[in-house]
Structure 1
């Protein structure tokens, strides 16, 4: 009888902790929030995630990823007067100073330099206005259709806004870039001071998640009186990266931690497709082998909910034939696989052959001989 009571007590504790984990995300006091799987972009939690809101310095995620994709990181930027007099957070760039573009990106992401943001925008596009056009074009291509940029730093403007969902999409996109992920996970970086002056700029990252959260590795803080406290945070555990967004959130550090913990505690990353395992065997018509196996070209992973009463399943949709006519060329396309969780599209990969199979057709061999001549 005592054993049964103990078992019941243990089950009750497990149930309570599971519900605390689930409730933690719902109790976040942010005007808008979202939690997403970086690899697939799947939304694991959201609250008011489609509401248009100011984003403050989280704007700089887009500024930096565009600079990286320009391929011009080694170029030297000459600081304009306009860049040097920007209000708000700064790394104290001086008019006429020359500094490497890559160094400016660290100044933007670690110390939120508004001066560095304008310097990058002017160098890449000639003006802040033209750079904002580039930012908006990129947002549309990513799928962030409820976002509009007017500047590269996030200082208040009525026409400068995003949504938690859009900002999550932008962050997921950026984090898939190795250089971006490297910059935002950097805790401290030293970059040169002005030429001829005997000092360097020592940049310490403002993002406390890098120190306070297990696996924390990004991304960007933001604050203006209009936007409130904003934070895009990322963390990686067991080779699985999540990103959270909180907009206008007074306790942004704890809120982001709870969101990320909610994701890691209630979901898991599973391998949906293994490229080393044959998907199926098909018949070969007029070939020197009667059958061949076809394989996925890439591994595919999916975030699956493991808490609560919802049993999620991965659905695989294939586009391929049961028979194929020889010849078969190794690594050529044999079909496609699409992966879904419910209605959510996770990703797709080609099916390929892993061997060459010659045809037994006389016509095929005649054509092969003629090609040699």
Structure 2
């Protein structure tokens, strides 16, 4: 009876809340890594996280920061001369030779496809001047990207107790790296054969270790635009990847995986993201987001300073709430395109910031100041002369009036004196 009652109640809830039930999100999959993130690359919003800020040694996933700095600071056609230190690098390598001359692009193939530590050191020395300088630049870049749980000690990820990062920080680095189209070209290459060099007469064949881009592999994932594996005994397994479906780009990062399930776990997380969330353009650049009415009645259209995308559950009917906060206080003069306000667009639990600019020029109408008026309409020297003459005339009039008053008083006194004499007689 109790079971029947439960079924009845559940059926009624589905009947009256059918639309809500249809929109309910599927539960995120269980994954084995200790620090995990699923990030929307366009908006930077988290779709899933598990201990996102917990720091662990990332092994060779470190190399995405090395790749980022090399692409930012160098040129693919630059030629690198391999140092002795680079040739002696430990761990995975393609066996570079001291004095070997090889292009940055070829070394990046070795770094991305084969996870070669000797390529990482050679690129670090070429880009930073020394490995130590390059590592310093890695940490500076991490700070600038907002990484709070990261400290790099080397450019390749060889284990060091102080060399750590989190899944969230790793995703922020990948988010920046995806802005470089060269990375997509290199990282989606299934295999590559490096040409012979001045020190190596034998070609070096390379195979991409990222199984999500290998079409014949069981873990192939349609839309994967690159990724990097990492492993040492102390660090365990780590993985970072990016995938794109219809313009929606997701980043998955898994750090410190003891079960080596990062490939299937990544596929499940990416499916969860693409199946349950969608990217939506809320405003186009230059769209009117709000309007500001000034004291004199003028209306300033406030325009979006850039395209604003939001991430939301699929088929969601949530409407955004837009609130603006005025940034410019002196509005007597406004230039078209000038920052006026900031908008906070709230959609569910997420919020997005957007700068708003003026859609037109504006200047407050003011009455001319006295000195401006005199300069514009009156000849100042002439005015001074006129004032002199007026002053002289006023003085003369004053003297005449005063003289006439004295005469009148004399006549009045004389008349009074005569009258007094007559009265005495």
TM bucket, shorter chain: 0.7 to 0.9
The unaligned stretches of length 5 or more in structure 1 are: 1-7
- Secondary structure, aligned partner of 1:107: helix
| 1:334 match | 340
Q: Does 2:359 match 1:351?
A: no
Residues 1:254 and 2:264 aligned together: yes
Sort the Cα spacing of 1:282 and 1:340 in 2 relative to 1 into closer, same or farther, 3 A: closer
Counterpart in the other structure of 2:221:
213
Cα offset for 1:22?
Answer: 3.1
Alpha-carbon spacing, 1:46–1:196, altered in 2? closer, same or farther (3 Å): closer
Which of 299, 302, 312 in structure 2 is aligned with 1:294? 302
SS across alignment from 2:198: coil
CA distance in 2, matches of 1:42, 1:76: 39
- Give 1:151 shift: 0.9
CA distance in 1, matches of 2:233, 2:22: 36
Conserved? CA contact 2:74–2:127, under 8 Å: no
Aligned to 1:49: 52
Quote the Cα distance in structure 2 between the aligned partners of 1:50 and 1:329.
43
CA separation in 1, counterparts of 2:103 and 2:368? 62
Query: Is the partner of 2:148 in helix, strand or coil?
Result: coil
Q: Any idea what SS the aligned residue of 2:26 has?
A: helix
Once the two structures are superposed, what CA deviation does each residue of 1:66-102 show, in whole Å capped at 9, x if it has no partner? 1122144443211012111222222221110111223
Contact 1:54-1:160 within 8 A present in 2 as well = yes
User: Larger radius of gyration, structure 1 or 2?
Assistant: 2
- In the alignment, is residue 319 of structure 1 matched against residue 345 of structure 2? no
Whole-Å separation in 2 of the counterparts to 1:71 and 1:337: 37
- Measured after TM superposition, the shift of residue 39 of structure 1 is 2.1
In structure 2, distance between residues paired with 1:182 and 1:339: 35
Question: Is residue 39 of structure 1 aligned with residue 42 of structure 2?
Answer: yes
Cα offset, 1:45, TM superposition: 0.9
Q: What is the aligned residue count?
A: 351
User: What do residues 135-187 of structure 1 show as CA deviations (whole Å, max 9, x unaligned)?
Assistant: 12222222222111111111111111211222122222222333334433333
Distance 1:190 1:339 in 2: 49
Matching residue of 2:236: 228
Once structures 1 and 2 are overlaid, which stretch shifts more, 348-357 or 252-261?
Answer: 348-357
Structure 1 CA distance for aligned equivalents of residues 56 and 134 of structure 2: 21
Normalised by the length of structure 1, the TM-score is: 0.81
Can you list the C-alpha shifts for 1:284-334, whole angstroms capped at 9, x where unaligned? 6679xx444221121111211348xx9866443312489995654332333
Distance in structure 2 (CA, Å) of the matches to 1:48 and 1:97: 43
Cα–Cα, structure 1 residues 193 and 337, in superposed 2: closer, same or farther, change >3 Å? farther
2-side partners of 1:63 and 1:17: how far apart? 44
Q: Distance in 1 between matches of 2:329 and 2:201?
A: 73
Root-mean-square deviation (Å): 3.5
Distance 1:332 1:322 in 2: 9
CA shift, 1:233, in A, is: 1.3
Report the Cα distance in structure 2 between the residues aligned to 1:175 and 1:219, rounded to whole angstroms. 10
Q: TM-score, normalised by structure 2?
A: 0.72
Correspondence for 1:95 among 94, 98, 104 = 98
Q: Cα distance, 1:344 vs. partner?
A: 4.6
- Give the conservation status (yes or no) of the 8 Å contact 2:226–2:241: yes
Deviation at 1:259, TM superposition (A): 0.6
- Deviation per CA, 1:344-366, whole angstroms, max 9, x where unpaired? 553x33222344456655759x8
- Corresponding residue number in structure 2 for 1:271: 281
Structure 1: how far apart are the matches of 2:332 and 2:176? Answer: 41
Q: Indicate the larger mover: 355-364 or 129-138.
A: 355-364
- Which structure has greater strand proportion? 1
The structure in which a higher percent of residues are helix is 2
Distance in structure 2 (CA, Å) of the matches to 1:134 and 1:166: 16
